Amino acid sequence: MSVMVSDKKFPVTPWYKQGWPWFLIALPATAVVAGTITLVIAIKSWDGLVVDDYYKEGKAIVRTIERTELAKQLGLTAQLKVRSNSVRVEVSASDLDNVPGAIHLTISHPTQSGFDQMLTLRGQGGVFEGAIAPLSTGRWLFQLENESRNWRMNGTAYLPTETEIRIDPSGS
């Protein structure tokens, strides 16, 4: 098929064989694909809920600060050694009677709670050891508490480069 314009013949090609219509279709199609990908990511990852009871949360924060202050008053410090499948915790205190026979160790990933681990470690003389699931590369949070959860100490490490963590609630 061809079109005649003032004594000249121009071939007419169908629209789907030309580049410009496909370019103009590609722009909104890209937005639809990107929107679909964003929707799938939003559905598969859960960000958590906003807390409705702010007063109760505030009281919990104050309680947490009090527990850290008690660890500071007791002169507690901890040295953690993280290996690929195990952890060793050495707890010391200004008074040896303040060193418990068992501790709760919580290893938390800051953004993905599915990787969190909660362990109860028993030991003697302030030395505790236990098996852990392998930890991926990244920042990890470590929390130590006694069995009655009267005190607690927190520390962070970027694994695998920081495998020895010192936790000192007094800040020194």
Q: Judge if 103 and 141 occupy the same domain.
A: yes
SS3 150: coil
Residue 29 pLDDT class (50, 70, 90 cuts): very high
- The pLDDT value recorded for residue 40 is 94
39: Cβ–Cβ under 8 A, 6 or more apart, which residues? none
Q: Minimal CA–CA distance to 147: which of 93, 92, 102?
A: 102
Same domain, 38 and 63: no
- pLDDT per position as a tens digit, 94-119: 888 888 889 999 999 988 888 899 99
Measured CA to CA in angstroms, residue 77 lies from 24, 95, 152, 162 at distances of 65, 12, 10, 18
Res 26 pLDDT > 80: yes
**pLDDT value for 141:** 93
Q: Which two tokens stand for residue 95?
A: 């008074």
Looking at the fold, whether 83 and 136 belong to one and the same domain comes out as: yes
- Give the burial class of 49: count Cβ atoms within 10 A of its Cβ; 0-12 exposed, 13-18 middle, 19 or more buried: exposed
Domain of residue 150, CATH code: 2.60.40.10
- Rounded mean pLDDT of 121-139? 92
- For residue 105, count other CB atoms closer than 10 A to its CB: 20
Name, in order, each residue with C-beta under 8 angstroms of 24's C-beta and a sequence gap of 6 or more.
none
Q: Determine, yes or no, domain membership for 12.
A: yes
pLDDT, average across residues 70-84: 91
Assess if residue 49 is contained within a domain. no
Quote the pLDDT of residue 108: 92
Looking at the fold, whether 21 and 64 belong to one and the same domain comes out as no
**21/75 same-domain check:** no
Write down the pLDDT at residue 6. 66
* pLDDT of 172 over the 70 cut: no
Question: Residue 15: which domain range?
Answer: 2-44
Q: What is the spatial distance between Cα 10 and Cα 16, in angstroms, rounded to a whole number?
A: 18
19 and 100 in a single domain? The answer is no
- Rounded (to 5) percent helix, strand, coil in the chain: 30, 35, 30
* Helix spans in the chain (H): 19-44, 54-73
Position 172 in a domain: no
Residue 9: which pLDDT band, with cuts at 50, 70 and 90? confident
Instruction: Tell me how many domains the chain contains.
Output: 2
Query: Among the listed ranges 44-48, 53-57, 81-85, 164-168, which one has the minimum average pLDDT value?
Result: 53-57
Pick from 37, 57, 41: nearest CA to 49: 57
Judge if 75 and 101 occupy the same domain.
yes
Q: Which one has a higher pLDDT value, 46 or 142?
A: 142
CA 162 vs CA 72, 90, 110, 127, 159: distances in Å: 24, 16, 16, 20, 5
Q: Are residues 136 and 66 in the same domain?
A: yes
